[in-house]
């Protein structure tokens, strides 16, 4: 993010010069403010996605250890079926919660 901000600031230095020569004229301060806002919004969104993916990776590692621990107990076939049904129900619930959160974010953006 620091590199992006540095590059953005470098380009914004030249913006008034570029906008002076454009017809029809463009307000360079307005344009620079708009560009900065768009970059910051994009960085925020990417940071949120990265944080979410990192959390999911940690959960996957925990899930793997949990699954290994369950199979180390040597469950019967019937118990395995019941465990899989339970895990599937938990997975479905988590997906539904994620979809609700996505919809909530979409509504808040409008």
Cβ atoms of residues 31 and 19 within 8 Å = yes
Report if pTM > 0.75.
no
Burial (0-12, 13-18, 19+ Cβ within 10 Å), 70: middle
pLDDT in tens, the chain (110 residues): 677 777 777 777 776 776 666 666 666 677 778 788 877 777 888 888 888 888 878 778 888 888 889 989 999 999 999 999 998 999 899 999 999 988 988 888 77
How far is it, in rounded angstroms, from Cα 26 to Cα 16? 9
Closest to 4 (Cα-Cα) out of 49, 53, 29, 41 = 41
């Amino acid at each position: 993010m620091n590199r992006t901000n540095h590059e953005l600031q470098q380009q914004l230095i030249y913006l008034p010069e570029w906008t002076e020569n454009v017809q029809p004229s463009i307000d360079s301060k307005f344009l620079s403010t708009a560009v900065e806002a768009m970059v910051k919004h994009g960085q925020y969104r990417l940071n949120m996605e990265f944080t979410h993916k990192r959390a999911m990776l940690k959960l996957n590692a925990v899930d793997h250890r949990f699954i290994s621990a369950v199979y180390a107990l040597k469950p019967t076939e019937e118990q395995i079926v019941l465990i899989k049904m339970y895990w599937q129900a938990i997975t479905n619930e988590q997906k539904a919660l994620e979809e609700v959160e996505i919809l909530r974010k979409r509504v808040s953006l409008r």
